[in-house]
Chain A
Amino acid sequence: MLTYTLRRLLLAIPTLLLISLVIFLLVDLAPGSPASEIPLTVPPEVREKILESLSVNQPIFVRYLLWLKQFFWVEPLNGIDWLFGTNYAEGMQRIISYQTRSPVFPLIGERLPQTLTVIGTAYLVGVLIALPIGIYSAYRQYSLFDQFGTMFAMIGFSVPTFFTGTVFIIVFGVWLGWFPTKYDTTLEVTDWDSFVKQLRQMAMPVMVLGLANAAAISRYMRSSMLENMRQDYVRTARAKGMSERTVVLKHVLRNSMIPVVTIIALGIPSIFGGAIITENLFGVNGIGAALIGAIRGNDLPMVQTLAFIFAILIVTFNLIADVLYGLLDPRIRYD
C-alpha cells in the first residue's frame, strides 16, 4: 500500500505539471488580457510601462516558468514565513493579483473560511441526510418511503440550485421571514447570539446545496445497498441467526460503503471549489465568488492559481479515494 501510494504520488507530479501548463495557456490565450482593461486614452508609452510593471510583456513560456516557480517555491516559503515568523521569502516576487495588486494567496486565504463553513457544512449535511435515506430506501425497496426518496433525489438532481435557492429565499426569507436572505460575511461568532445568527444565515445555502449533494449520494447508497442485499453472504448471515440489525448494518452496510466512501471522497474537492452559483445567490463571499470576480476582471494570475489549486485537490482526493478503497476492501491489493 505504501509503495503504491508513493508511486501514485510520483505519477501525480507529471500529471500536475501538464495540468498547470494547460491551465496557464488556456487562461492566457483566452480573449481578454490586462492590456484590454487599460483605457484607449492612455498614451502608448504609459501603456507599455503598465504592462511592464505587470510583467506581461515577456514571452509566454518565461511567464509560465516564473509562475511555476512562484507557485511551488515562493508561495510555500511565504507560507512558512507567515507560520513561523521566519523570512526566507524576503525580496521574492509573489503571485500578484491584477485587480488588487496584492498577493493572490492571502486573498484566497481570506475567502476560504466562508466557503469551507458554508459549503463544507452543506456537504456534511448532504451526506448525513443521504446515507440514512439510501440505506432505508434499499432496505424497503419500492415502499412508500423509497418512492419519496426517489422523488427527493429526482428533485435534487434535476432542479438547479439557482431555482431552489430562489424558491427558498421567497418562502423562508420573504414569506416566513425565518432566515435572512443575504449572508453577512462580516459577522464574527463571539457568543451564543452571534452563533445563532450565523446558523440562521447559513441555513438556506446549506439546505440548497445539501439537497443537491444528498440527491446524488443517496442514489449511490441505495443502489450499492440493493446490490449487496442480494448477495449470498447476506443469506449466510441470516442463516447464522444474526439479528436483522447485524445483518443490515454489519454485513450489508459495510460492504455497501466501499463505493460510497469513494464517491464521497471524490466530491470533497468541490467543497473547496465552492459553489459559484449558490455563493452568488446568497452573497457568500467565498472562493466561488472570488473566481467569478477574477474572471470578470481579467485577473489572470488569480484565475490560474485558483484553477490549479482545484486541480491539485482533485488529483489528491482521487488518490485518497483509491487508497481508501484499498483499505476498505481486503480483496483489493495495490502492489
Chain B
Amino acid sequence: MRDSLSMPLVQVEDLKMHFPIYTGVFRRHTGNVKAVDGVSFTIQAGETLGLVGESGCGKSTVGRAILRLYEPTAGRVVIGGDDIATLDAETLRKKRPAMQMVFQDPQASLNPRMTLSAIISEPMVEHTAMTAEERQARVFELMDAVGLNRRFANRYPHEFSGGQRQRIGIARALALNPKFIVCDEPIAALDVSIQAQVVNLLEDLQDKFGLTYLFISHDLSMVRHIADRVAVMYLGRIAELSPRDALYDRPLHPYAEALLSAVNEPDPNRARRERIILKGDVPSPANPPKGCAFCTRCPKVMEICRVTRPELAEVQPGRFVACHLYTPAAGSTGATEVPEHYQQGETT
C-alpha cells in the first residue's frame, strides 16, 4: 500500500488561509486578509521543521490551519495519509490525538477552572477507554516526563509559574501519544532562562517518543538550536526553505538574508554579520503586492519582481527559494554567483 519510509509524515500543499473582510452598513464581503497564501512544505517523521518570520507573517496561522483549528480556504494538508483539510468533523476529531499543538500563551490556553490533572486527562476521557486509575497513572507519568512534581496534580493553572504552565501545555499535548506536534511559539511568553529549559525538554521528548515538530518561532537562535530544516515566511508565503546549517551559513533569499543578519553572534572574535536594515513596513496582507511579496522592501528588487510572483523552486539540492534572482528565466545572473556578489557588495 503506502510506503511509510519515503512518504513524509506531514505534507502541506498550496495551503491558503484567507480571512474575509466585511465592511459597510450591510457588512458586504469586500476583500480577504491573505494570512497564508499558498504555502507548501513537507516534514519527515522525526524531523523538526522551524518556521520563522516576523510578526504577522502568518506563521501561527499556518500552524493552526494545518491542525484545522481554522478552516483552510484552499490546499491539502496530509498528515499520516489523511487529508486533514477535507475530513468531516467527526473523523477529524478521532484523528486529533495523532496531531497536537503546544500553544504560545501558556496562561490563556489552559482552562482556569480545571485542575492540572483534569486538563491532562480530559483527552483520555474523550478518546480512550482508560479507567480513572489508569488515567491518573498516565497523568503522573506525563508529569514526570515534563518535570512537574506529582504533588501539583490537583492545582489550578494560575497557581503555576509561566515555565511550569508551559510544561503543563506540553504534557497535555503528549497525553495521547501524538506523532506530530505543532509548537506555536512555545517559548515566546517565557523568560530566557526558562526558554532554554523548555526547548531542551522538547528535544528530550522528541528523542524519547520519536516526535515530529513544526516549531514556529520568531526566535532565530532557538530555531537554529532545535530545527533540522527551516522555512522563512514573509507575508503569507514561504520565501526560503533550507536545511538549517545551509540557511544560517548563507541564506539565499534576500529576505532570509536580512532576517538572519539580525541574529547576534555570541562569540566576539567571530566577525559579526553585517546588519541589513529593511526599509518600510510589511505590506498589508489584505492588499499584497502584485508580484513578489517582498518587492516593496527588497534591496535587490528587479523589474520582474513587481510583475510576476516567484514560485518556490529547488535551486540547490534540498534548498527551496522563491526569488527571481534564482530563476533562470529572470535574467542572465546565475543562481550561485548572485549571493556571493551581494554578500561582498554593499548592503543597505
List chain A positions with a Cβ less than 8 A from chain B.
Answer: 231-233, 235-244, 246, 251, 254-255, 328-331
Among B94-102, B268-276, B326-334, the one that faces the other chain is B94-102
CA distance A329 to B158 in the complex (A): 11
Check: B122 CB closer than 8 A to any chain A CB. yes
Q: A251 contacts which chain B residues (CB < 8 A)?
A: 111
CA distance A251 to B156 in the complex (A): 14
The reply to whether B158 and A331 form a contact with Cβ atoms under 8 Å apart is yes
Q: B69 contacts which chain A residues (CB < 8 A)?
A: 235, 238-239
CA distance A244 to B96 in the complex (A): 13
Interface centre among A232, A240, A242 (most CB of B within 10 A): A240
Q: B126 contacts which chain A residues (CB < 8 A)?
A: 240-243, 246
CA distance A236 to B164 in the complex (A): 17
Q: B172 contacts which chain A residues (CB < 8 A)?
A: 236, 240
Taking A233-B111, A239-B100 as given, write out 18 further A-B residue pairs in contact, using a Cβ cutoff of 8 Å, ordered by the A residue number.
A232-B108, A233-B112, A235-B109, A236-B109, A236-B169, A239-B67, A239-B96, A239-B101, A240-B172, A241-B94, A241-B123, A241-B126, A242-B122, A242-B123, A243-B93, A243-B126, A251-B111, A331-B158
> How many interface residues does chain B have, given as a range?
20 to 34
The reply to whether B96 and A236 form a contact with Cβ atoms under 8 Å apart is no
Pick from A241, A242, A330: contact of B156, CB under 8 Å = A330
Q: Can you list 10 A-B pairs, Cβ within 8 angstroms, ordered by A?
A: A233-B108, A233-B109, A233-B110, A233-B111, A236-B101, A238-B69, A241-B126, A255-B111, A330-B112, A331-B156
CA distance A232 to B127 in the complex (A): 21
CA distance A330 to B111 in the complex (A): 11
Check: B54 CB closer than 8 A to any chain A CB. no
Check: B279 CB closer than 8 A to any chain A CB. no
Nearest opposing residue in chain A for B96, CB measure: A241
Interface centre among B112, B127, B156 (most CB of A within 10 A): B112
Interface centre among A233, A254, A329 (most CB of B within 10 A): A233
CA distance A243 to B89 in the complex (A): 9
Nearest opposing residue in chain A for B122, CB measure: A240
CA distance A241 to B169 in the complex (A): 15
Check: B103 CB closer than 8 A to any chain A CB. yes
How far apart are A176's CB and chain B's nearest CB, in angstroms? 38
B72-97 with Cβ < 8 A to chain A: 89, 93-97
How far apart are A16's CB and chain B's nearest CB, in angstroms? 34
CA distance A81 to B108 in the complex (A): 57
Check: B113 CB closer than 8 A to any chain A CB. yes
CA distance A236 to B158 in the complex (A): 16
CA distance A331 to B169 in the complex (A): 18
Q: B203 contacts which chain A residues (CB < 8 A)?
A: none
Nearest opposing residue in chain B for A234, CB measure: B111
How far apart are B127's CB and chain A's nearest CB, in angstroms? 6
The reply to whether A241 and B111 form a contact with Cβ atoms under 8 Å apart is no
Check: B105 CB closer than 8 A to any chain A CB. yes
Nearest opposing residue in chain B for A330, CB measure: B156
CA distance A239 to B97 in the complex (A): 9
CA distance A255 to B113 in the complex (A): 7
The reply to whether B158 and A330 form a contact with Cβ atoms under 8 Å apart is yes
CA distance A237 to B123 in the complex (A): 9
Q: A330 contacts which chain B residues (CB < 8 A)?
A: 112-113, 156, 158
A232-B123 contact in complex given A239-B96, A243-B93, C-beta closer than 8 Å = no
How far apart are A330's CB and chain B's nearest CB, in angstroms? 4
The reply to whether A235 and B103 form a contact with Cβ atoms under 8 Å apart is yes
Pick from A232, A243, A246, A255: contact of B105, CB under 8 Å = A232
How far apart are B252's CB and chain A's nearest CB, in angstroms? 34
A254-B113 contact in complex given A233-B108, A235-B69, A330-B156, C-beta closer than 8 Å = yes
The reply to whether A255 and B112 form a contact with Cβ atoms under 8 Å apart is yes
How far apart are B39's CB and chain A's nearest CB, in angstroms? 20
The reply to whether B103 and A329 form a contact with Cβ atoms under 8 Å apart is no
Nearest opposing residue in chain B for A331, CB measure: B158
How far apart are A324's CB and chain B's nearest CB, in angstroms? 14
Q: B105 contacts which chain A residues (CB < 8 A)?
A: 232
Q: B89 contacts which chain A residues (CB < 8 A)?
A: 244
CA distance A233 to B106 in the complex (A): 9
Interface centre among B67, B93, B101, B113 (most CB of A within 10 A): B113
Pick from B64, B95, B108, B122: contact of A231, CB under 8 Å = B108
Nearest opposing residue in chain B for A328, CB measure: B113
Pick from A231, A233, A240, A255: contact of B123, CB under 8 Å = A240
CA distance A235 to B70 in the complex (A): 10
CA distance A237 to B89 in the complex (A): 14
CA distance A328 to B112 in the complex (A): 11
Q: A233 contacts which chain B residues (CB < 8 A)?
A: 108-112
Q: A240 contacts which chain B residues (CB < 8 A)?
A: 96, 122-123, 126, 172
The reply to whether B93 and A241 form a contact with Cβ atoms under 8 Å apart is yes
Q: B96 contacts which chain A residues (CB < 8 A)?
A: 239-241
How far apart are B69's CB and chain A's nearest CB, in angstroms? 6
Interface centre among A232, A237, A241, A254 (most CB of B within 10 A): A241
Q: A235 contacts which chain B residues (CB < 8 A)?
A: 64, 69, 103, 109
Q: A239 contacts which chain B residues (CB < 8 A)?
A: 67, 69, 96, 100-101
Q: A238 contacts which chain B residues (CB < 8 A)?
A: 69
CA distance A311 to B276 in the complex (A): 70
How far apart are A259's CB and chain B's nearest CB, in angstroms? 13
